[in-house]
Structure 1
């Protein structure tokens, strides 16, 4: 069968997920639907109008949310309802390509663009009875995907007008989302103005709006916004929080409305010992404790193993150890060009003053690792060995690492989320003193998972600096380099731990999701669900 490119690519994704055309569509991961969501409030009048226009036909419309979970349906015939139930297209059911293959909910959700799927173009046999067209619903302000709207009918009833018909409905929903956002902003502003003159710090956080009185501007740093949003998700009334400056505060949290945002009143807590409220101190690229251990290893000229994920700053850390001493760097990946020659060059460098750095020892072949270990035993040269996470070291590589006097593991950037604003400012100084990051840009940077760690953050800032050589860098300036192009909710502590376990397991399984799911003791579909929910890329 000759398939269009976008359909063929979708089939390939379904096959890689372990699906076959004969796979059944089961009601997996069905959840309650939030009937008060912004999407449903905006879409319901549009869906009702679509139902009126489709009355007497065998077509239906289906709306899914930003997780591709069905939240609403409209149809006029009982036979259509039964057909939808037979393929589990019911409210609360999540339609993803790894579970339902190629269709007009899952495929537009995956590709972020409108897709028509007719009859045999569906991957699963159970869905080949339908012709359908689906189109993403994108929030006009945040540019985040708000959901997917689909129109479905019997195979053979395909019509070239389905696409334009549905796109007009999508545009109506998006316009109503924008109107709702404007109303929410007005409600938030009114609530803020009613209390902004109080003696305490007052801060209002909406989806895309931040309002603060003078006291809040002096007390609250941009890095604290995420802490406050997290508190607002779990508390109403009074709560306590320690700001990024170290200042403990008492916080009163009030929800302005279901969708407008949160209002915070903050007052520093008086303690028996004085607390100095000040901006975060100027810092380098590593946590203070790690930085001190690196410098301590340098002062004592101790051999050190520096481990961490790719991009976490291992080479920079080695230069911190070296201080003002010369650095001689060798990359273990160069061994492939000639093992004996590489080992000879390392041995020759061992007689030079300064720090000898071997990067990527987890890549060393066993014989090269043995020869390097023998060199360590027979010389007093000062070495720093750099590796991936300790779990990646095996056999002779682990034996080599055991010869180091100190071991320092660099934390991934996702575990340093509160430090991201300060780190971003530090890295940005490398592109000139005339650039500044706005609160919106810092919030967006703080919402990313950063699988590439410091190197990825530096790359995003470099791209933004290329696009704007002076002045304020906004969220729009940094968004092209970000996976998520609008700040989302921060992961809870439990979710962050789950994210880390999944990432480590996938790395250990070299990206093989089937093996990773087996090692984690969960089904493949559960792994895919959690990866999407936690934004594991």
Structure 2
């Protein structure tokens, strides 16, 4: 007993010397305390922790947090197994805040309460110094803190064995577990028990995780040892280090994922140059094709140092689909790009107008031929142009006079000439070519023609016909979609911030074929403005058909399992716990299957193929 008291005094005095004399001058005998305790003391001193100050409370505890869901059953089992002991169990989150306390013997509650060892109080090392919950998080290892080895005086009567809880996917410390007892009842076995319990909670977190994200994590760890910045991604998740993070954002991920997924890969590895980023990227396709694929990007040497090597790299893809080189070069220039293909059209129309005659604008249905023509005419005349259909000039004799009156007013004219006969086109060209004294020079005639994806049969060298100016479809400029959304939104809602899309919603937009082109996009933005306002647009806010475009296909078994979960959720009115009970499965299993089968109970459930 005397020997124990002497050791406690020696430990307390050594800790006090470290506080009063400072980290440099004070020395602690190696035999007095373990190395991890001394290191923790020094960290505590450097953080200016006051050993007489108790812990503080940090907000409300989320009862549905991942660590509590993973640990609940395990803590129950340990509490049952420790029935005949005087041990207590503590679970802390990554902030060191106690989120669960299990007391085996009720008479220990007062002692623990006096030390503020209860739910909600923060036991991080920065707040309380060396202890069995905060030190495992800070030191990333198992620790045994005995009596006066605690930095805080209020914990001197406790012995605590603590273990960190490491997330199986990210490798990040997400919390800690501690087994505590009165210092007189301490046993080295507490260390093994804490280590085992912490490992069990980490395994439970792994079971809760989406199997696809587990595979992504394994892939990232495989390439993480590279000396170069690395990024791996699947359809929902990106894992990367900070140097690679500068290359990507949500828009880049959504577009690149869709492009790589759709691409017809001949080999599983390709090396490409990204000039504007000053780097090369080695892209590897891993995992199963389609929605379950994983792509790993390794950003390698500076572009200039390897330009000779890149010249021999064959561009994948064909004329209809951009090769991966073009895709990544386009992504690398996104931040530098100030205009889109649609905004550049205004310059193209101006160039066509400079040659005189009737301006010809062509493109598929819904691409915005009329919109782009009207925009140009308004900018050059300051007035709204007149509009005519080609058949008006064959069925209404007054149409020519009305068009002449519009031009004499200094306004432009747009003619929908998709069905214009050859002889009528000749007369229109002759009419538009007649000089009108005093008429605004911007008051021009613009002929729009639908191409249905093919060039019109008439040649481009018709005298008096300028152009053609081709308006691309939205799919042709898919890589510019985020910029086009902002541009179209600014036109239909001037002065209002454009809508913000979640990564998953943006991925749906990239995967969509846009049969209605820009007109369809404008209608969608108008609906979203009305339904979501300034809120972030989620997948649930998009039309159901867009959901289906980005969803994976399921096997017959997966589809039947999905239908059963959907029915249970409907019966439980969206309550996941109740739905799990209806199906006879655990809540953790329910969450995992919902993620795997793309079920979101907060949305109207999406059924592929419906």
TM-score range, shorter chain: 0.3 to 0.5
**Bigger-Rg structure (1/2):** 2
TM-score normalised by the chain length of structure 2: 0.43
